Structure formats: C-alpha cells, structure tokens
Amino acid sequence: MAGLLERILPASQRRSLDELTERLDLGNGDRTAKRSAFWTMLVLAAVIAIAGVLADSTATVIGAMIIAPLSTPIMGIALGIVRASGSAIGRSLLYVLGGLAVVVALGWLFSLFLPDPGSLLSNSQVLGRTSPQLLDLLAALATGFAGAFALCRRDLSSILPGVAIAISLVPPLGVVGVCVGRGDFDLAFGALVLFLCNVVALVIAGSIVFTLYGYTKEIAALTVNRGRAYLAVVGILAIVLIPLAANTVTSILIATWTTRISDAANQWILDVPHSQIDGVTWHGLQAVVEVRSPTENIHTVEDLQALLKGTIPDSVHVTVDLTVGQIIPVE
C-alpha cells in the first residue's frame, strides 16, 4: 500500500502540511487578504453564475465555476477533520455557511426582476440542478478525489480549474435563491440537495486523501475527536442519500412507464392512418400523450387506458393531447 501511495504522490511533489494549511485554512496566515479575496471572488462568481442561470448560458455558468472560491473552505473542513482541529473545522464551516447565505440572497434579489416567472420551468440551467441523483454523488466523489490529489501534489495545480468546473457549488445556490424568490420551493430544495451532495462528497474525498498521505496528528485524544467528525460526515451523507436515492428511483420508474405508455399508444393508433405519437410528457403523476392525427376520429382515451391496465400503477393518470394535422412533404 505504501508503495502505491508513493507512486501516486511522490515525496518530491508532496506539499507540506504548512503549505496545505496555508492554502485551505482561511483563518491561517494573512487573514485579511484571504478574507477579502474570498468574499470578493464569491460575490463576483455568484453574480456571474446567477446571470448565467437566468440567461440559460452554459458558458457563463462555467466561468462562474472556475472563479468561485467555495471549494477552499470545504476542503478546509476536510483538513480540519484529519487534523482533529475543531477551530479549523469551525472557521471553514462558517465560511461555507456564510457563502451559502450570500449566494442564496443574491439569487433571491435577482429573482425580483424576472419578467417571466414561468420561464424557470423551461430553463435547462435551473432544471438540470433541481433533481440530483446518485450519479451526481458518484461524480462529485470522483471530482473530490481529483481535487484532493491536486492539492497534495505541487505538479497538479493546473487541473484545479477542471475540478472547479466538474463540481457545482455556486450555481446550485444561485438556483436556490432564484427559486425561493419565485416561490418554487420544491425546485429550491432539489438545488440545495445538489449543493449539499457536492459539499459532503468533497469533505469525504478530501478527508480520505489527506489521511492516506499522513497529514494527521497521532494523538489518542485527537483520534477520538477525528472519529466523531468522520461519523458526523457519514451521518450527513446518509441524510443526503435519501432524496438522491428517491430521485434516482423516480427517474427509473418514469423512464419505464414512459416506454410502456408510448408502446401502448402506438398500438392504440395503429389502425388510424397517418397518425403518430409525438411524445409523452409528465406533470407530477399525470402522463400526457401527445398525438398528431389528420382526424379527430381516433379511439377513446378509455381504450388507451385499457391497454395500459396492469402495466403502470393505477395512481398514474394518462390523458391525451390531440393535434389535428399532418406532415405535408415538400417536393
């Protein structure tokens, strides 16, 4: 094991504990400079991220991810856990909570000037951050390991911007604020879960990597405190896993039911010439089958529901949105 760790983190490239602490603990060293840099860049990143979200601009949101400084105190929490330093954990946690409050407040403020509140429901930047799943946690863990390795090695600093892009911290908080401002609390909760998922993943990955590379203090009393901190992180992870697992299961079920409804609908219109199914959309537990036909004389919805009997739960309601018309080929 030691040989493998030496290959992954050669001694010649290993940052010292002092270097790592200086980089991650915002209460260590030149505190005034660190604090001013953190809050300035956080506010700017928040404004860029929220503007990018509202404009549905992926490039703008990516730019905000690169300059956002929230990952620093989050990794500071991990280092504080490994060092069993309650003061370092507390300082870093306050920066994370303060950053959360600032970004959410800015998102709420921006929401006051939205001309069309309903546009949130069609905004890919919003919807893509409001229904996190287990795959998001897996990606966040892998990103956390990459970031922790890069922090430990002097020769991997160049990959940190990529890590910042891969982990989403400020944009979800901006979405939380915007959605709260518009009264979409379900969407806000989903975005908050994504943020917490990413925070927990970074802390877990950082704690593991920093422990493997010997940044711990081998004192019995500190070991007990460290163990309690690990248990607290695991407990938070368990709480975050509940909505992630629920969203994952829901997505799988919706995909399965959509396929079954689509197959039944195609059978339902099989004997209606030039008719076709354009898709199945969902509104809660209501499935809307979008049908295009040259005539209104198609089978009844009851016939479709009879075909679906036993293939989907009775709690799922199926309706039909019929568009009368046909595609005329251009010669």
Domains, the chain, ordered by start: 2-217 (1.20.1080), 253-324 (3.30.300)
Chain-centre distance for alpha carbon 201: 11
Ordered per-residue pLDDT tens for the chain, 331 residues? 556 666 666 667 778 888 888 889 898 888 899 999 999 999 999 999 999 998 889 999 999 999 989 999 999 999 988 888 888 889 999 999 999 999 999 999 998 887 665 567 678 888 888 888 888 889 999 999 998 888 888 877 777 778 888 888 999 999 999 999 988 888 899 999 999 999 999 999 898 888 887 787 654 445 556 667 677 777 888 888 888 888 889 889 999 999 999 999 898 888 888 888 888 988 778 889 898 888 777 878 888 888 888 888 888 888 888 888 665 555 5
Report the predicted TM-score, pTM, of the whole model to 2 decimal places: 0.80
> What is the Cα gyration radius of the chain?
25
CA-to-CA distance for 68 and 273, rounded, in angstroms?
56
CA 137/CA 113 separation, integer angstroms: 33
Looking at residue 99, its pLDDT comes to 95
In terms of DSSP H, where are the helices of 55-184? 58-67, 71-82, 86-111, 124-127, 134-152, 160-166, 170-182
- Give the containing element (helix H, strand E) for 281: strand 276-283
On whether the CB atoms of residues 82 and 216 are closer than 8 A, the answer is: yes
Strands 286-293 and 317-324 turn out to be: parallel
pLDDT of residue 220: 46
User: For residue 323, what are the β-bridge partners?
Assistant: 292
Long-range contacts of 122-128 (CB under 8 A, 24+ apart): 123/53, 123/54, 123/56, 124/56, 125/52, 125/53, 125/54, 125/56, 125/57, 125/58, 125/61, 125/171, 125/175, 126/53, 126/175, 126/178, 126/179, 126/187, 126/191, 127/187
Distances (CA, A) of 167 to 129, 141, 142, 201: 12, 9, 10, 10
